[in-house]
């Protein structure tokens, strides 16, 4: 595979996509109209409000790349990126709380119990949190994956029930890689027999064995392997049998799994290379993340977040509406937000 050629091809596609005059308008209108209609409809099922956090997170991640490709405005891109990350965190946090409501079967039907979030998505949220410097949120997301794996699956009235998150699919190698890194850094473990754990973790297994190497040339070589795998998994899906872990537009040139590794190395007091051999690490989005040295401020504006949480709280009193989502609060969020 010619990575240079593939990256140039993807880069060209992204420039065309994000430079379209009506970029994102149809998708944004669809999201906003659906949210507003759902908020007004008294019969809207609570699970719908929870799902919107995922859509809003993806929308803001798209906006991050849009700003980078059309304006080259890194600060504005970082703002969108923090919004995407906060929405993602709320997506999992509300799911966790909702489980406490419907696990007893008092407020939610069995149909809702089969709703879950893909582990690959939660692993990306975790990587985003680490890039933002939000260690506590990243840890919460990682532990949520472990809790869901340990819960396993249960059968009830013909439904397969997951706790919060699908226990991962064997082909989501980057997600498993991110979780294994968390376990190494924090000395955690989980029962791999309860999950659809991959039979092969190539090339991630090689990186996991040497994740804490002090040899920066070796780290560059390992990064090259991960970049190659990322590009390989960034292909366009041709049929129902195809699956590419980074096939979504915003994922193609966003190697969150590599930055997850780098951030855990930094936490362990290890250095990372300043320059890289693989061209994937020289794209606008990679350069922006490499330049982030301090934690990014948490967003003070999250459209629809408070309204969605208010609606969820009506059905599940345990859902918390953080003070920082008050419409009149324009201060930077405190360090202990979203506990």
Q: HEC states along the chain?
A: CCHHHHHHHHHHHHHHHHHCCCCCHHHHHHHHHHHHHHHHCCCCCHHHHHHHHHHHHHHHHHHHHHHHHHCCCHHHHHHHHHHHHHHHHHHHHHHHHHHHHHCCCCCCCHHHHCCCECHHHHHHHHHHHHHHCCHHHHHHHHHHHHHHHHHCCEEECCEEECCCECCCCCCCHHHHHHHHHHHHHHCCCCCHHHCCCCCCCCCHHHHHHCCCCCCHHHHHHHHHHHHHHHHHCCCCCCCCCCCCCCCCHHHCCCCHHHHHHHHHHHHCCCCCCCCCCCHHHHCHHHHHHHHCCCCCCCCCCCCCHHHHHHHHHHHCCCCCCCHHHCCCCCCCCCCCCCC
Q: What is the pLDDT of residue 160?
A: 61
Confidence at residue 332, expressed as pLDDT on a 0 to 100 scale: 36
Interval 156-175 mean pLDDT? 70
- What digits encode the pLDDT tens for the residues 133-151? 999 999 999 998 998 888 7
- Indicate whether 334 pLDDT > 50: no
The pTM score is 0.89
Q: What is the pLDDT averaged over residues 44-63?
A: 88
Confidence of residue 36 (pLDDT cuts 50, 70, 90): very high
As beta bridge partners, residue 159 has: 156
Minimal CA–CA distance to 233: which of 241, 225, 223, 244? 244
State residue 325's pLDDT score. 63
CA distance 71 to 80: 13
pLDDT of residue 328: 38
Query: Is 157 or 280 the better-scoring residue by pLDDT?
Result: 280
Report whether pLDDT(250) > 80. yes
pLDDT score for 163: 66
In angstroms, the CA 105 to CA 121 distance is 27
CB 201 within 8 A of CB 171: no
**pLDDT given at position 100:** 66
pLDDT in the model for residue 170? 72
Mean pLDDT across the stretch 181-193?
Answer: 94
Q: Is the pLDDT of residue 245 over 50?
A: yes
- Residue 107 pLDDT: 39
d(CA 228, CA 208): 16
Per-residue model confidence as pLDDT tens digits over 284-331: 999 999 999 999 998 878 999 989 998 888 878 888 776 656 543 433
Distance CA 42, CA 49 (A): 12
| pLDDT for 112 | 47
* Distance between CA atoms of residues 246 and 231, nearest Å: 8
């Amino acid at each position: 595979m010619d990575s240079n050629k593939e990256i140039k091809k993807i880069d060209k596609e992204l420039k065309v996509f994000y430079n379209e005059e009506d970029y994102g308008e149809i998708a944004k209108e669809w999201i906003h109209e659906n949210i507003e209609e759902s908020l007004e409809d008294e019969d809207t099922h609570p699970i719908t409000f929870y799902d919107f956090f995922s859509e809003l997170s993806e929308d803001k991640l798209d906006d991050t790349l849009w700003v980078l490709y059309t304006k080259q405005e890194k600060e504005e891109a970082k703002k969108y990126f923090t919004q995407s990350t906060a929405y993602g965190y709320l997506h999992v946090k509300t799911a966790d709380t909702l489980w406490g409501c419907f696990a007893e079967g008092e407020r939610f039907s069995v149909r809702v119990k089969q709703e879950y979030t893909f582990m690959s998505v939660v692993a990306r949220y975790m990587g985003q949190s680490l890039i933002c410097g939000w260690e506590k949120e990243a840890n919460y997301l990682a532990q949520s994956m472990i809790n869901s794996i340990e819960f396993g699956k249960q059968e009830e009235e013909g439904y397969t029930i997951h706790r919060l998150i699908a226990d991962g699919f064997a082909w989501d190698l980057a997600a498993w890689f991110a979780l294994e890194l968390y376990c190494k850094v924090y000395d955690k473990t989980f029962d791999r027999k309860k999950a659809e754990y991959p039979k092969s973790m190539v090339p991630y297994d090689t990186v996991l064995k040497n994740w804490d190497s002090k040899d920066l040339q070796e780290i560059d070589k390992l990064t090259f392997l991960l970049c190659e795998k990322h590009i390989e998994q960034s292909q366009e899906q041709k049929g129902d049998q195809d699956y590419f872990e980074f096939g979504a537009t915003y994922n193609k040139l966003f190697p969150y799994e590599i930055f997850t590794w780098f951030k855990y190395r930094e936490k362990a007091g290890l250095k990372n290379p300043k320059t890289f051999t693989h061209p994937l690490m020289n794209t606008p989005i990679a350069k922006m993340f490499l330049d982030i040295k301090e934690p990014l401020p948490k967003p003070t504006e999250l459209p629809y977040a408070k309204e969605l949480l208010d609606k969820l709280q009506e059905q599940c009193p345990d859902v918390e509406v953080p003070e920082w989502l008050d419409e009149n609060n324009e201060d930077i969020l405190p360090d202990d937000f979203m506990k």
